[in-house]
Structure 1
Amino acid sequence: MSKYLLDKFLYTVDRDPSLVERYREDPVGTVAWWESSVANTILNSHSGEASTWLRLDDVEREALSTHDYVKLFELGAHPFLTLTLFIALFERDHAEPLAFQKEYAARLAHFSLPYPDIAT
């Protein structure tokens, strides 16, 4: 498991409106594409440097591919990165202000302190 890679996915997708839309419409395809073409690039590097060993495990891939933010939280994905991306994905589907944020909180309400470790 790589919390770094989960957080990198959340960070990079959230910062590109076209990727947010792509992930909303085709999460399985977006996760597969991202893992094969972006996962091993150096974050914020413009030099073409890349690694070759970073991969999501099956549980991480499944959670990302199904938009399962509760599972991502359980796996230790950073809650702020998760929340901001999922607001971008789903806030528009709710009529009332903060409705998605309230749903997010309700679905995570079964967690108690200490929360899963978010250190990478």
Structure 2
Amino acid sequence: MSKYLLNKFLFTVDRDPELVERYREDPAGTVTWWEAERAGQILNCHSGEASTWLRFTDEERRALSQHDHVALFEMGAHPFLTLTLWIAMFERDATEPLGMQLDYARELAHVTLPYPDITT
């Protein structure tokens, strides 16, 4: 498992409006594409350098493909990264003010201290 790769996915998708929409509409396809095309790119590197060893585990791929922010948090994905991406994808569907954020928090209410380690 690579918390770095989970966080890198969340970070890079959240910063590209087209990827946000792609991930919202086709999460499994986006995860498969991103893993094949973008996972090896080095962040903030524009010289074409890449890595070939980073891959999601089946559990990570499943959680990303199902938009399962609870499982992602339990695996160590940073909650601020999932929250900002989930706001971009799902806030528009909320029927009440802060509805998406309250649902997000409610689904994580069972998690108690100490929280999963989110360091990478």
Per-residue deviation, residues 11-36 of structure 1 (Å, max 9, x unmatched): 00000000000000000100000000
Partner of residue 45, structure 1: 45
> What's the counterpart of residue 16 of structure 2?
16
For 2:104 and 2:47, the matched residues in 1 are separated by 38
1:96 Cα offset (Å): 1.3
* 1:24 partner amino acid: R
CA distances 1:19-65 after superposition (whole Å, capped 9, x unpaired): 00000000010000000000000012111000110000000000000
Q: Residue type of the partner of 2:27?
A: P
- CA–CA distance in 1 between the matches of 2:82 and 2:7? 8
Residue 57 in structure 1 maps to residue 57 in structure 2: yes
1:33 aligns with 2:37: no
Identity rate of aligned residues, in percent? 73
TM-score (norm 1): 0.99
Report the CA distance between 1:97 and its aligned residue: 1.2
Please report the RMSD computed on the Cα atoms of aligned residues, expressed in angstroms: 0.5
Q: Which runs of 5+ in 2 are unaligned?
A: none
What does residue 100 of structure 1 align with?
Answer: 100
Structure 1 ranges of 4+ moved more than 3 A = none
How far is the alpha carbon of 1:73 from its aligned partner? 0.5
Whichever residue aligns with residue 97 of structure 1, its letter is P
Aligned length: 120
Following superposition, the deviation at residue 111 of structure 1 comes to: 0.3
